[in-house]
C-alpha cells in the first residue's frame, strides 16, 4: 500500500487524508499543535459556502462540485453538519461586488434570484433596503466547521490513519519527500505539505504568501429582529469596500459578523488578542447595512489567521517527492472536500491538469 505523509491537520490536510484513504492509501498526519488545533484557520463554529465571487467567477462555478464533495464526506462520517440558509449580496452602486457577481452568476448559469429593493424589504425586513439597487440571493449556507473536523477525525482514525499531534515540522527535504520534526525524521512514498500559515516558514520562496488577521464578532441582534434573523441568510460583499460578511444565528451559535476591510497582514504569534476597539469597529461597519445595528449586543470577538496568496489563487505544486498545497486566501474551507479529491486525483495521474485547474479558480 502506498503511504502518504501529510503536514497540517486543517481542513485541507484532513480532506486530503480522507480522499487518499478512500483511494487506498495509508495516511499519517503530523500537526504542530493538538488535533484538532483550535488555532488553525479551519477551526470555528462555521464557515460560509456560497457561489457569489465577484472577482473570482471560477470559484463560483465550482461551488456545485464543492457541495457534491461535501455530500460524499457527510455520507462517510454519518452526519451532515451543514445548514442551508441561502446567501445574499447587496448592490449599492454599479460595479460593486454584488453587481459583478450578479453578472457572473448569470453567465456561468448558477441559480440565483435578483431582488428589487421592495422585494428585499418584504423578504428580509431586518436588512436595510433603502439604499440598495438590488439584492442577489443564491443557495449557500454554513458548514459547521468544528463538527465536520471532529467527524472527519473519527472517520480517519477508524480507518487506520495515524495522527501525530504536537509535532512541528522543522525542515522539508522536498527532493526526498522527507521531513525533520520535533519528534524526529519522517518519510513516506508521498509527502504533502498543507501547513496553512506555516508554509512560508518551511519554504522561504513563499515569503509573498502572507498571514492575514481576520476578525469576527459574535453578537445578538436586538430582540425585535431575532425571529427575522433566525431564518436569515448568510451574507457577503455588502457595503462596497467594507465587505460585510457573516452568518445568521444558528441554533445556539450567535450571529457572526465580519468586515473584509479589516483583514490585514499581521503576526499570528502576537496579534491574536482582540480589543474593544476591534469589536466596536466591526459593529460600526454594519450601521446602515442592518437595521438597528447600533443596538446589536456583542458576545465575544475572535481573531484568526489565514494564508493569503499574492494572486488569491489556490496552489498545488510538485517539488520533487513533495506536493505543496494551499487552497486558502480566506476562501478555502468551502472547497476543502473538493480540494482533497483534487489532490487524490492528481496523485492518481492527473497531476498537471489538476494543478492548472486549481490555479485557475
Ligand X SMILES: Cc1cc2nc3c(=O)[nH]c(=O)nc-3n(C[C@H](O)[C@H](O)[C@H](O)COP(=O)(O)OP(=O)(O)OC[C@H]3O[C@@H](n4cnc5c(N)ncnc54)[C@H](O)[C@@H]3O)c2cc1C
Residue 342 and residue 85: Cα distance in Å, rounded?
A: 27
| Range in contact with ligand X (rule: CB under 6 A) among 89-97, 270-278, 292-300, 322-330 | 322-330
Distance CA(317)–CA(343), nearest Å, equals: 10
Interaction mask 174-213, ligand X, x per CB under 6 A:
--------------------xxxxx---x-----------
| Closest distance to ligand X from the beta carbon of 173 (Å) | 14
From residue 123, alpha-carbon distances to 55, 82, 115, 235 in Å are 27, 23, 9, 14
| Closest CB to ligand X among residues 14, 347 | 14
10 binds ligand X (CB under 6 A): yes
- The answer to whether 12 contacts ligand X (rule: CB under 6 A) is yes
CA distances for 306 relative to 40, 42, 104, 267, angstroms = 8, 9, 26, 11
Of 8 and 239, nearer to ligand X (C-beta) is: 8
Choose the stretch contacting ligand X; rule: CB under 6 A; options: 104-112, 278-286, 292-300, 324-332.
324-332
The set of cell numbers assigned to 281 is: 469597529
Counting Cβ atoms within 10 Å, is residue 329 exposed (0-12), middle (13-18) or buried (19+)?
buried
Q: Does 259 bind ligand X (CB under 6 A)?
A: no
Q: Is 81 in the site for ligand X (CB under 6 A)?
A: no
Q: Does residue 42 interact with ligand X by CB under 6 A?
A: yes
Question: By C-alpha distance, which of 6, 29, 331, 48 is closest to 153?
Answer: 29
322 binds ligand X (CB under 6 A): no
CA dihedral 349, 355, 357, 360 (to 10 degrees): -170
The binding site for ligand X (CB under 6 A) comprises 7-13, 30-33, 37, 40-42, 47-48, 168-169, 194-198, 202, 214, 216, 304-306, 326, 328, 330-334
Amino acid at each position: 500500500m502506498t503511504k502518504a505523509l501529510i503536514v497540517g491537520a486543517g481542513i485541507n490536510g484532513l480532506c486530503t487524508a480522507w480522499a487518499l484513504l478512500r483511494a487506498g492509501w495509508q495516511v499519517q498526519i503530523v500537526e504542530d499543535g493538538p488535533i484538532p488545533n483550535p488555532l488553525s484557520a479551519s477551526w470555528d463554529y462555521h464557515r460560509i459556502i456560497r457561489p457569489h465571487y465577484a472577482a473570482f467567477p471560477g470559484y463560483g462555478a465550482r461551488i456545485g462540485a464543492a457541495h457534491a464533495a461535501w455530500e460524499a464526506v457527510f455520507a462517510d462520517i454519518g452526519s451532515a453538519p451543514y445548514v442551508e440558509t441561502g446567501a445574499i449580496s447587496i448592490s449599492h452602486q454599479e460595479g460593486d461586488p454584488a453587481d459583478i457577481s450578479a453578472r457572473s452568476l448569470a453567465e456561468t448559469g448558477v441559480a440565483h434570484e435578483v431582488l428589487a429593493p421592495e422585494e428585499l424589504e418584504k423578504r428580509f425586513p431586518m436588512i436595510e433596503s433603502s439604499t440598495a439597487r438590488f439584492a442577489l440571493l443564491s443557495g449557500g449556507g454554513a458548514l459547521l466547521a468544528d463538527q465536520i473536523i471532529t467527524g472527519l477525525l473519527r472517520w480517519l482514525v477508524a480507518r487506520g490513519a495515524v495522527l501525530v499531534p504536537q509535532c512541528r515540522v522543522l525542515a522539508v527535504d522536498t527532493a526526498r519527500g522527507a521531513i525533520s520534526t520535533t519528534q524526529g525524521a519522517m518519510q513516506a512514498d508521498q509527502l504533502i505539505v498543507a501547513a496553512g500559515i506555516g508554509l512560508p516558514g518551511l519554504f522561504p520562496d513563499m515569503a509573498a504568501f502572507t498571514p492575514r488577521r481576520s476578525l469576527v464578532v459574535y453578537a445578538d441582534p436586538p430582540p425585535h429582529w431575532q425571529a427575522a434573523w433566525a431564518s436569515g441568510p448568510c451574507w457577503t460583499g455588502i457595503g462596497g469596500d467594507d465587505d460585510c460578511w457573516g452568518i445568521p444565528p444558528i441554533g445556539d451559535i450567535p450571529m457572526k459578523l465580519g468586515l473584509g476591510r479589516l483583514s490585514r497582514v499581521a503576526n499570528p504569534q502576537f496579534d491574536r488578542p482582540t480589543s474593544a476597539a476591534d469589536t466596536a469597529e466591526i459593529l460600526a461597519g454594519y450601521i446602515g447595512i442592518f437595521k438597528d445595528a447600533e443596538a446589536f449586543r456583542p458576545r465575544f470577538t475572535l481573531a484568526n489567521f489565514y494564508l493569503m496568496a499574492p494572486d488569491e489563487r489556490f496552489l498545488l505544486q510538485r517539488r520533487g517527492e513533495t506536493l505543496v498545497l494551499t487552497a486558502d486566501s480566506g476562501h478555502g474551507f468551502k472547497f476543502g472536500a473538493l480540494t482533497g479529491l483534487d489532490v487524490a486525483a492528481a496523485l492518481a495521474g492527473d497531476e498537471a491538469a489538476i494543478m492548472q485547474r486549481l490555479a485557475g479558480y
